[in-house]
Chain A
Amino acid sequence: MNETNVGEFEELVLLTVLLLGEEAYILKIQEELLNEAKRKSAMGALHVTLGRLEKKGFLISELAGDTKERGGRRKRVYELTAAGKSVVTQIHTTRNSLWNKIPKFALKFANA
Chain B
Amino acid sequence: MPDKPLSPPSISIRLIKLLCKKELSEEIEGNLIERYLLLNEGQKSFILIRYWYEVLNYIRPYFLKSLKLKTTTTMFIFNPKITIRNLIRHRVSTFISLFGFIIGLTSFTFLYFYLDNELNYDAFHADKDSIYRVYRTSQDESGEYYDIAVSSPPFARALKNDYPNKIQSTLRVSFNDMVVKYEDKRFSEDKIMIADTNFFEFFTFPLLLADPETVLDNVFYVVMSEPLSKKYFGEEDPIGKRIELNGNADFVVAGIFTAPKNKTHLEFDIVLSMGLYEGQEWFENWWRNFAYTYVKINPEDEAYLQSAFPSFMEKYLGDDFKRTNNNNGLKIVPLADVHFHQSRYDSTPIGNFSSVIIIASVALAILFIACFNYINLSIAQSHKRAKEVGVRKVLGVDKTRLTVQFLGESTIILTLAITLSVILSSVLRGYFNHFFGLSVTYNWSDPAVQIFFSSLLLLLIITSGLYPALTLSSFETLKVLRTDKPLKSKNIFVRKGLIIAQFSISMFLIITTALIYFQLEYMNTKNLGYNPESVLIIDTDREIRANYDEFKSRLLAYEDIKSITTGSGVPSGFHDTYGLTFSEGAEDVRVHTVFADIDYLNTFNIPVMAGRGFSLEYASDSTDAMMINEAAWKATGLSKDEIIGKKVRIPFRDWDRTVIGIFENYHFKALRDAMDPQAIIMGEDMRRIAIKIDSEDRYKTLSIVEELYKELAPSFTLNSWFLTDDLRDQYQSENEQAKVFTVFSCLSIVLACIGILGLASFAAQKRQKELSIRKVLGASISQVITLISAEFFTLVMIAVILSIPLACYFMSIWLQDYAYRIELQDYWMVFVIAGITTMVIALLTIILKTYKTASGNPVDTIRYE
Residue B5 interfacial (CB < 8 Å): yes
Count A/B pairs, Cβ under 8 Å: 60
Contacts of B482 in A (CB 8 A): none
Write the A38-60 contact mask toward B (1 if CB under 8 angstroms, else 0).
Answer: 00001111011001000000000
Assess the A47–B62 pair: CB atoms within 8 A. Answer: yes
Assess the A71–B29 pair: CB atoms within 8 A. Answer: yes
Contacts of B7 in A (CB 8 A): 71
Assess the B35–A75 pair: CB atoms within 8 A. Answer: no
Known contacts A44-B57, A44-B58, A45-B57; A69 and B28 CB within 8 A of each other: no
Residue A101 interfacial (CB < 8 Å): no
List residues of A (46-83) whose CB comes within 8 Å of B's CBs.
47-48, 51, 63, 66, 68-71, 73-76
Contacts of A71 in B (CB 8 A): 5, 7, 29-30, 33
Contacts of A43 in B (CB 8 A): 31-32, 35, 54, 57-58
Residue A18 interfacial (CB < 8 Å): no
Assess the B58–A47 pair: CB atoms within 8 A. Answer: yes
Write the A84-98 contact mask toward B (1 if CB under 8 angstroms, else 0).
Answer: 000000000000000
From A48, A66, A69, contact of B62 by CB (8 A): A48
Query: CB-nearest residue of chain A relative to B13?
Result: A71
Write the B52-68 contact mask toward A (1 if CB under 8 angstroms, else 0).
Answer: 01101111101100000
Residue B763 interfacial (CB < 8 Å): no
Contacts of B836 in A (CB 8 A): none
Assess the B63–A44 pair: CB atoms within 8 A. Answer: yes
Residue B38 interfacial (CB < 8 Å): yes
From A44, A69, A70, contact of B60 by CB (8 A): A44
Q: By DSSP majority rule, is chain B's interface helix, strand, loop, or mixed? A: helix
Contacts of B60 in A (CB 8 A): 44, 48
Residue A27 interfacial (CB < 8 Å): yes
List residues of B (1-53) whose CB comes within 8 Å of A's CBs.
5, 7, 26-35, 37-38, 53
Interface size range on B against A: 20 to 34
Most chain A CB within a 10 A radius of its CB, from B7, B29, B56, B57:
B57
Query: CB-nearest residue of chain A relative to B60?
Result: A44
From B5, B28, B33, B54, contact of A42 by CB (8 A): B54
Query: CB-nearest residue of chain B relative to A27?
Result: B34
Assess the B26–A74 pair: CB atoms within 8 A. Answer: yes
Query: CB-nearest residue of chain B relative to A51?
Result: B62
Q: How far does the alpha carbon of A42 sit from the alpha carbon of B35 in the complex, in Å?
A: 11
Assess the A70–B59 pair: CB atoms within 8 A. Answer: no
Contacts of A12 in B (CB 8 A): none
Query: CB-nearest residue of chain A relative to B27?
Result: A76
Contacts of B31 in A (CB 8 A): 26-27, 43, 47, 70, 75
Assess the A27–B38 pair: CB atoms within 8 A. Answer: yes
Assess the A44–B54 pair: CB atoms within 8 A. Answer: yes
Contacts of B63 in A (CB 8 A): 44, 47
Known contacts A69-B33, A69-B34; A75 and B27 CB within 8 A of each other: yes
Most chain A CB within a 10 A radius of its CB, from B7, B29, B34, B35:
B34
Q: How far does the alpha carbon of A26 sit from the alpha carbon of B31 in the complex, in Å?
A: 7
Assess the B59–A73 pair: CB atoms within 8 A. Answer: no
Contacts of B35 in A (CB 8 A): 27, 43
Q: How far does the alpha carbon of A61 sit from the alpha carbon of B34 in the complex, in Å?
A: 19
Q: How far does the alpha carbon of A74 sit from the alpha carbon of B53 in the complex, in Å?
A: 22
Contacts of A73 in B (CB 8 A): 26-27, 29-30, 33
9 residue pairs bridging A and B, Cβ less than 8 Å apart: A43-B35, A44-B59, A44-B63, A63-B26, A71-B5, A71-B33, A73-B33, A74-B26, A76-B27
Given contacts A43-B57, A63-B26, 13 further A-B contacts (CB under 8 A): A27-B38, A44-B54, A44-B57, A47-B63, A48-B62, A63-B27, A66-B30, A68-B5, A69-B33, A69-B34, A70-B34, A74-B26, A75-B30
Residues of chain A at the chain B interface (Cβ within 8 Å):
26-27, 42-45, 47-48, 51, 63, 66, 68-71, 73-76
The 5 closest A-B pairs by CB, nearest first: A73-B30, A44-B57, A42-B57, A70-B30, A44-B58
